[in-house]
Amino acid sequence: MAPLSPVSCFVFICMFILVSVNASTTPNIIFILADDYGYNDIGYHGSEIQTPNLDRLAKSGVRFENYYVQPICTPTRSQLLSGRYQIYTGLQHSIIWPTQPNCLPVSMTTLPQRLKDNGYATHAVGKWHIGFYKKECLPTSRGFDSFFGYLTGSEDYWTHYRNGGFPSTFMKHWYAYDLHDDLRPAWEYTGNYSTYIFTEQVQNIITKHNTNEPFFLYLALQSVHSPLQAPDKYINMYSHIKNKNRRLYAAMTTCMDDAVGKIVQSLKDNLVWNNTILIFSTDNGGQVLQGGNNWPLRGWKASYWEGGMKAVGFTSSPLLPLNVQGTITKELMHISDWFPTLVQGIANGNISDLTLDGFNVWPTISENKPSPRKELLHNIDAFEEKDKSVFNVNMTAAIRVGDWKLLTGHPGANNGEWIPVPDSGIEAFKPLLIPNQQVWLFNITADPYEYYDVSQSHPDVVSQLIERLGYYYNTSVPAYWPDFDERANPAYHQDVWGPWD
């Protein structure tokens, strides 16, 4: 072998130094959370909706196919940012409505707070929705260096207004602006589509970031939650879809996919992609009443059937070992696992002083090791239960232990129908309803679509899982559901949703 020339030696040494520096640099983290994104709405699950950027990222990373979130917005976000089950935050009953004096308990350490302790710059863009009634609840009080986005949810994509919402009729007429640049109402963005705005904000953060410190960038997209609105160029792409809701939803999804593609390109253009880990997740199942679809899973958003909680999710990064790039993991994972995974697994931070319900699954993702999670409490909603000392199967609850999944009470906002894509030629079908049934048992590994309730043939398993629910119930805090507060009226606050206490 011929000796290297001086120039070649210099280049080799420079490359060695560069690789060594990159290898020792703490990774940047970007977490993208989609809203109401259905299991059957991404290309790699066979959807008719075009998602080339998401497909490409997932297929070069690690796809999660046994990954769960919560059935609705606030609980998922609270568990992501706290690492705690919602039975320990008081948020187990529902979302936080704009007029409720409620938020993720301020006593809890959050994910961005702990990442800041490890030297990260932290930024939140998009939808907050874990409370804003007092300044202590706001993103920049919970560990984020900056925030740009919505404090609540369901805003108009163009005007950024929303009403007071269910359930108080008079509060529905409280119609106000909800787009904020930290504490300032961002009026200048009126008329601009939110997906475009959020993408631009993320690109600006990436461009201006000081590369001497790592960043954690939490992008909680409004897409693809209702109202169904999209730029015309995306709607025109799907003129062949007859169902109006599905057509608009498809347009919103492809717009979201383009946004992710632009963000990744910005990471590459600013030479930080090679040291960045990207995580993509939905916050709950698709809402079939608003164009989403979870076929062939049972149920949809706001239910404890698989269609309400089994999530689209993946990690993509050049930092992943080559032997796991392009793979699928079927190891059990949950949204609460991201707190310890990001802090301990990726940032090499300390979590020994925290009580968490999540597990560090980074070895599962990056080394294909078995998941440390063997059990998953989906939730116990005891809001209307009078006897707080005994678990009663009339309460809405769900738990997963190994292959087994048990549901009790009313599993959610629907009876567990299987809903195909509109105009697919497949008929929706409903399960046989047994009067007064309050317990269901499924072997999710053998029966991922929840066709066969085996509660009658496996009473021993039912008893064991009810005992586990009893354990969790005895350790839980009461659901916190404060009365709606008239002081929240935006008319008192320049017609803007914001803190009032």
Backbone angles phi, psi at 363, to 5 degrees: -60, -30
Could you tell me the CA-to-CA distances from 361 to 292, 404, 474 in Å, in that order?
29, 21, 27
DSSP string, 301-335: TTBSSHHHHB--EEEE-TTS-TTTTTEEE-S-EEG
| 396-401 and 375-381 strand pairing | antiparallel
Q: Which residue has the tokens 């006897």?
A: 387
Rounded to the nearest 10 degrees, how much is the dihedral formed by the CA atoms of 455, 461, 466, 470? -170
Helix (H) or strand (E) holding 408: strand 404-408
Edge to edge, the sheet with strand 180-181 lists: 184-185, 180-181, 146-150, 121-127, 215-220, 28-34, 276-282, 313-316, 62-64, 327-329
Specify the pLDDT at position 167: 54
pLDDT of residue 466 exceeding 80: yes
**Token digits for 136?**
């202590």
| pLDDT tens profile 82-141 | 999 999 999 999 999 999 999 999 999 999 999 999 999 999 999 999 999 999 999 999
Dihedral sign for Cα 269, 270, 276, 277, please.
negative
Looking at the chain, the whole-number percentage of residues with pLDDT higher than 70 is 93
Specify the pLDDT at position 13: 38
Render the burial of 413-451: b for 16+ CB within 10 Å, e for the rest: bbebbbbbbbeeeeeeeebeeeeeebbbbbbbeeebebe
CB 103 within 8 A of CB 132: yes
The CB density around residue 190, as the number of other CB atoms within 10 Å, is: 14
Catalytic residue among 73, 103, 137, 255: 73
For the segment 196-217, the average pLDDT, to the nearest whole number, is 97
Specify the pLDDT at position 494: 94
SS3 for 125?
A: strand
Could you tell me the CA-to-CA distances from 214 to 29, 266, 326, 347, 464 in Å, in that order?
8, 16, 25, 9, 45
CB 42 within 8 A of CB 49: yes
**Token digits for 340?**
């310890």
| pLDDT tens profile 6-50 | 444 443 334 333 333 333 489 999 999 999 999 999 999 999 999
Look up 103 and say whether it is catalytic: no
Q: Which residues 6+ apart lie within 8 Å of 73 measured at CB? A: 35, 95, 127, 129, 153, 225, 283, 284
| pLDDT tens profile 351-399 | 999 999 999 999 999 999 999 999 999 999 988 776 777 899 999 999 9
Q: Which residue has the tokens 């119609």?
A: 175
Specify the pLDDT at position 19: 35
pLDDT of residue 55 exceeding 50: yes
Residue 1 CA to residue 377 CA, distance in Å, equals 61
Domains of the chain: 27-373+481-492 (3.40.720.10), 377-475 (3.30.1120.10)
Render the burial of 217-229: b for 16+ CB within 10 Å, e for the rest: bbbbbbbbbbebb
Residue 217 CA to residue 221 CA, distance in Å, equals 12
Look up 129 and say whether it is catalytic: yes
Looking at the chain, the whole-number percentage of residues with pLDDT higher than 90 is 87
Specify the pLDDT at position 5: 54
What are the helix (H) ranges across 25-51? Answer: none
Catalytic residue among 45, 93, 123, 129: 129
Helix (H) or strand (E) holding 470: helix 459-475
For the segment 293-313, the average pLDDT, to the nearest whole number, is 97
CB 200 within 8 A of CB 192: no
pLDDT of residue 445 exceeding 50: yes
Render the burial of 82-102: b for 16+ CB within 10 Å, e for the rest: bbbbbbbbbbbbbbbbbbbbb
Q: Which residues 6+ apart lie within 8 Å of 18 measured at CB? A: none
Residue 371 CA to residue 365 CA, distance in Å, equals 9
Residue 206 CA to residue 121 CA, distance in Å, equals 11
SS3 for 148?
A: strand
Residue 382 CA to residue 380 CA, distance in Å, equals 6
Specify the pLDDT at position 168: 56
Judge residue 168's burial from the number of C-beta atoms within 10 Å of its C-beta, 0-12 exposed, 13-18 middle, 19 or more buried.
Answer: middle
Higher pLDDT, 312 or 171: 312
Selection from 68, 37, 57 nearest residue 277 by Cα:
57
Backbone angles phi, psi at 359, to 5 degrees: -120, 150
- Return the DSSP state at 474: H
CB 91 within 8 A of CB 302: no
For the segment 327-332, the average pLDDT, to the nearest whole number, is 98
- C-alpha 416: how far from its chain's center? 22
